[in-house]
Amino acid sequence: MDFPKERSDANTLLSKLETLKSDDLRWKQGRAFSYVYYASPEITETLSKAYLSYFSENALNPSAFPSLSIMQSEVISMCKSLFNAGDNAGGVMTSGGTESILMAIKAAKEYAKKYRNITAPEVIMPLSAHPAFNKACDYFGVKLHILPVGSDYRVNPESYEGLINENTVLLVASAPSYPQGVVDPIPEIGQVALKHKIPFHVDACVGGFVLPFIKDRTFPNFDLGVPGVTSLSADIHKYGFASKGSSVVLYNDNELRKSQFYIYTGWPGGIYASPSIMGTRPGGAIAVAWTVLQLLGQAGYESLVQKMMSTAKAYQDFLSSYEGISVVGSSDMCIFSIQADGFNIYELGDEMHELSWQMDRQQDPSALHLSISPIHAEVFEDFKIDFDKAYKIAKKKDFNKLKNSLQVGAAKGLKKILPEKTFGKLQKLAVQKSDTNTNRSAALYGMIGDLKGSGTLDEMIIEFLDKMTK
Ligand SMILES: *Cc1c(COP(=O)(O)O)cnc(C)c1O
């Protein structure tokens, strides 16, 4: 598309925007099990108005728009109270979980440099923690140690001990982890952190606005009230139900918080001070976060969470009633994944996709992931009917495929997302691999598991990302 020479008609453009959406995930119809967390049309409508009323405002300079400063302080204050932060605690609003995590790593790194003179910082986290930590360590030159998780998909608190050394600047755990929805043993890890006097970050990005509202908890405390926990991330734009672009990172110690800030005083444009990664900060996202926390309050979140928890339970019971299907681990909240025994789970994902339902693929173990929103209670009957169809096809297909070393059927999904050249390359590798074991039932997607860590896979994914974002 060339840069347009002439103006376009506003109404035409607006209606084009609507038609462009036609191939997108149908989240309003409850077909999406990730990416969009949808409470109700009424809430979305109110929040859209809040966003529009701060559409152009910029929180870059806190004194230019006092309204945005007040709202940010109040959001942080509400979250401090929700997560039982100490009196000396503080926080910063960010654009999302990734920015919150980048900032927690940056703060830990700077803090350790200032107070412990550490110049080669290291972080320890479980395999189940979000890749935003890998990204942060990569960006900021921090060495990352990854701990295995147990058969219940939780990290063993003692396993941190073996990797802690004089360069350790932060321990990390999740409440809960995204892949299986299990909460790590935060109080015990907190004890390890205290013993070694090392900061400890709890990633509550996906759980922050669910876990505090669950009645009959199956997990121990996870928040800033737990001894040893020094920082916490929670996404308002996930189960807080805000529009995209809002999360918080909170610190029990304000010195740690200040280590996150960036200042530069030499610029001819003026003194530049910025609390987080973003320069220009969208007012709309702040106004929405401020609005939704009060629109719902404790009572509103409690009733939504109760609904999501019972819906998740109903989905889990339904899914595991099928022969060979089971829930992976024992989720503590309304996100979970399912695995298949005796046939290929990705095949099932493909069939559900054909019927317009989206469930993300996971690896180690091969699984499909579901994040339950209130809308999924309404579409449960439709889901059951389609799942039943998909299950039957997937099982049959897999039977035929056992004779077919190339797994053509299962490769369909991949073929849709990978560029032609990359797909061809992957296919060639798959053929080479399968020569050694022509009977294996792993799908082409599963081959990715075998290629993991090899330069070939990284190179192919970079090529893919390049093509998608050009
Ligand atoms: C979503 C998520 C993140 C990253 O958040 P983004 O808003 O996608 O940047 C981090 N940790 C966990 C556990 C998450 O679920």
CATH number at residue 233: 3.40.640.10
Total tally of structural domains belonging to the chain: 3
In a domain, 144, yes or no: yes
Domain closes at, from 339, 369, 398: 398
279-294: average pLDDT: 97
Residues ≥6 apart with Cβ < 8 Å to 144: 122, 123, 124, 125, 133, 134, 137
Q: Is the pLDDT of residue 466 over 90?
A: no
208 vs 461: which has the higher pLDDT: 208
Please name every residue paired with 392 in a beta bridge, in sequence order, or none if there are none. none
* 172 lies in the same domain as 273: yes
CA distance linking residue 256 with residue 199, whole number of Å: 9
Tell me, what's the pLDDT at 102?
A: 98
Of 95, 135, 206, best ligand 1 pocket probe by most atoms within 8 Å of the beta carbon: 206
DSSP letter at 184? P
Q: What is the largest CA-CA distance in the chain?
A: 70
* 428 lies in the same domain as 280: no
Using CB atoms within 10 Å of the CB of residue 63, give its burial: 0 to 12 exposed, 13 to 18 middle, 19+ buried. exposed
Nearest alpha carbon, ligand 1 atom 4: 97
In a domain, 437, yes or no: yes
Tokens representing residue 412 in the block? 């369909």
Tell me, what's the pLDDT at 432?
A: 61
Amino acid type, 284: G
Among 121-125, 132-136, 186-190, 267-271, which is the least confidently predicted range? 267-271
Residues ≥6 apart with Cβ < 8 Å to 202: 173, 174, 175, 186, 222, 223, 224, 226, 229, 231, 232, 233
In a domain, 178, yes or no: yes
In a domain, 1, yes or no: no
* 251 lies in the same domain as 323: no
In this structure, are residues 256 and 108 in contact, taking their beta carbons and an 8 Å threshold? yes
Tell me, what's the pLDDT at 467?
A: 73
pLDDT (tens digit per residue) in 224-240 = 999 999 999 999 999 99
Secondary structure of residue 344 in the 3-state scheme: coil
Phi, psi of 55 (to 5 degrees): -55, -40
In a domain, 3, yes or no: no
335-364: average pLDDT: 93
CATH number at residue 351: 3.90.1150.10
* 240 lies in the same domain as 310: no
Using pLDDT thresholds of 50, 70 and 90, give the confidence band for residue 399: low
375-388: average pLDDT: 97
In a domain, 4, yes or no: no
With a pLDDT cut of 90, the percent of the chain lying above it is 79
CA distance linking residue 49 with residue 429, whole number of Å: 52
* 104 lies in the same domain as 155: yes
Beta-sheet pairing, 231-235 with 168-174: unpaired
Domain closes at, from 253, 274, 292: 292
* 229 lies in the same domain as 338: no
Domain that holds residue 360: 298-398
Tell me, what's the pLDDT at 462?
A: 78
454-459: average pLDDT: 71
Beta-sheet pairing, 247-251 with 231-235: antiparallel
The verdict on the CB of residue 369 being under 6 Å from ligand 1 is no
The verdict on the CB of residue 203 being under 6 Å from ligand 1 is yes
Tell me, what's the pLDDT at 430?
A: 60
* 408 lies in the same domain as 464: yes
pLDDT (tens digit per residue) in 78-130 = 999 999 999 899 999 999 999 999 999 999 999 999 999 999 999 999 999 99
Nearest alpha carbon, ligand 1 atom 6: 97
In a domain, 235, yes or no: yes
Tell me, what's the pLDDT at 437?
A: 40
Using pLDDT thresholds of 50, 70 and 90, give the confidence band for residue 379: very high
Please name every residue paired with 212 in a beta bridge, in sequence order, or none if there are none. none
Domain closes at, from 368, 398, 428: 398
Of 235, 236, 238, 336, best ligand 1 pocket probe by most atoms within 8 Å of the beta carbon: 235
> Which has the closest alpha carbon to 332: 421, 246, 433, 220?
220
The verdict on the CB of residue 235 being under 6 Å from ligand 1 is yes
With a pLDDT cut of 70, the percent of the chain lying above it is 87
* 113 lies in the same domain as 79: yes
pLDDT (tens digit per residue) in 405-455 = 334 444 555 665 666 666 677 666 665 655 444 333 345 555 666 666 666
Among 6-10, 272-276, 372-376, which is the least confidently predicted range? 272-276
CA distance linking residue 274 with residue 68, whole number of Å: 15
Q: How far is the CA of 96 from the centre of ligand 1 (A)?
A: 7
Q: Is the pLDDT of residue 463 over 90?
A: no
In a domain, 304, yes or no: yes
* 209 lies in the same domain as 324: no
* 246 lies in the same domain as 328: no
* 251 lies in the same domain as 348: no
Mean pLDDT of the chain: 90
* 161 lies in the same domain as 208: yes
